[in-house]
Amino acid sequence: MYIVTGGAGFIGANLVAALNRRGDSNILVVDDLKQGDKFLNLRDLSIGDYMDLTEFRDHLRAGHFRNARVRAIFHQGACSDTMEYDGRYMMDNNFTYSKELFHFSLEQNIPFVYASSAATYGASTTFAEHPDNEKPLNVYGYSKLLFDRYVQHLLPRATSAVAGLRYFNVYGPREDHKGRMASMIHQMHHQIRTHGVVKLFTGSGGYGDGEQRRDFVHVEDAVKVNLFLADSGTIQGIFNVGTGKSRSFNDVARALIASLGQGTIEYVQMPESLRAKYQSFTEADITQLRSVGYDAPFDSLEEGIATFVRVKADATP
């Protein structure tokens, strides 16, 4: 059995889909369906069981999974809202819950691959997995960083794979439910399809209009990294998950316009409240990921967006 927490969410559901393509359907999906429309991410997938997050944590604490023969845990469940300011909720959901699951994996010798975030870097301009670069700007980033450090402290006790994945800007199918927290590529696609115009920020941080840069990675590449590390059985560490190449928001808009065959770009002022916390540049240093043997290529921005647009078109009734 595989356990996928956050399995009705964006990356989690894509992981379940990838396991299905490998012929695996004995999957326990754990999630919180207060937002009921997330079920749409599971509707076309085959799973063995579903548990609500609260029920799962109760069962975990009670030891009900000790003889479950779990092949791997993909811990994608978290509060990913960077604008959530309830620190107690964030720390319980992203830190305490993660600790409970991590200790279970250590006790049972189960490969444990979990979602960290590039938000751990925050104000940094260097994106390599090193404490000098870890400067989170919000409690979400801090919750992820604190768990990364907790994991690193206990790694000498681990006898199976343990990998934290610092996702950069992941985009792709199955993120319709995320609303304002959906990827910028998803939001730009919606703007073009709805209004024919994509709105980008005017210059900031020394970058021109729309020239702020991000490392955009297609969700299928993020899923491949998850599976590689879990299948390894022994690889341990914290790893950036990005393409290693930043691209501008102008590049994204142009690629979307080319794929959709419509759309124009408009530049708008960045809200004053966002300026102090806005990252004008991110780019994953993937040296560490490559050093443990992950040598698969990442989709270019143009390839990934073409796939994204095609899948969105296929999904439209």
> In angstroms, rounded to a whole number, what is the distance separating the alpha carbons of residues 130 and 265?
37
Q: What is the DSSP letter of 168?
A: -
How far apart, in whole angstroms, are the C-alpha atoms of residue 33 and residue 272? 34
Q: Which one is catalytic: 50, 89, 135, 178? A: 178
Contacts of 190 by beta carbon, 8 Å cutoff, 6+ apart: none
Helix/strand/coil for 203 = coil
Measure the CA angle with vertex 210, ends 205 and 215; round to 5°.
80
Among candidate residues 140, 142, 167, 171, the one labeled active-site is: 140
> What's the CA gap between 216 and 232, in Å, rounded?
25
Q: Say whether 277 is catalytic.
A: no
Give the DSSP letter string of 102-139: HHHHHHHT--EEEEEEGGGTTT-S--SSSGGG---SSH
**Which of 76, 298, 78, 276 lies closest to 165 in space, CA to CA?**
76
Q: Distances from the Cα of 125 to the Cαs of 116, 214, 255, 294, in angstroms? A: 18, 12, 26, 25
Residue 30 near residue 55 (C-beta atoms within 8 A): no
Respond yes or no: is residue 121 known to be catalytic. no
Run of H or E including 143: helix 139-154
User: The dihedral of CA 132, 138, 141, 144: what is its sign?
Assistant: positive
Query: What kind and span of H or E run contains 189?
Result: helix 184-195
Catalytic residues: 140, 178
